[in-house]
Structure 1
């Protein structure tokens, strides 16, 4: 199975890529390299990759893949708070566009991964398995 991972050089992607390869997946990555040379645990393994911002992806970038694992995004509240409009552009609008492009390209599976910032602050009480989300309260 051919799998494309966006944000493959990031915090999660750098760990996920070797795991996918070990399971026999044919993997490739796309990353803006915003954090180039900030590797945890050494240099990431060599995989076919493209340096490209997730906002600039096209249907052609996704053609031929069976799955897209979408990890690319601004990953924490302090970073997101620096420029909320940019955060929305990357984490929301680019993700929706990517999902639509993947569907148009015939990608069979699209997996969107997110941090708890997507759900917002749960408050001080007990959080149930399916609480309502409050991204506007993320801190």
Structure 2
């Protein structure tokens, strides 16, 4: 096993230690979930744009009280209303999917955070043992009294 050179720059050093404690697999899972969330958000934005365009078409096709009834305008309004209903249902489905994705992301973040905390506390306990001190986790539990 070869030693990993530790950079002198504190930011690079922290990044290296964090990457080592978290692990590549967990980081890859977290990145994948984040990218899925971004894709879902883009789809939701596109649906909102389509809904707004349909609302504008409805507004343009709305007849005045004094004007003649235009069949094309009536069909345009009905078509736009149906499309808005379909897109609204799609939007709600994407919203649920984004909610599930956010929960997965939060879970993975907590898992990464716990790995870092556990790794750092293990290192602190190891250093304390090497110096002859009792680790924090075991302070006061020792059978041997000094």
- Which structure has the bigger radius of gyration? 2
TM-score by length of 1: 0.24
| Bigger relative contact order (CA 8 A; separation at least 6) | 2
In terms of fraction of residues, the more helix-rich structure is 2
In terms of fraction of residues, the more strand-rich structure is 1
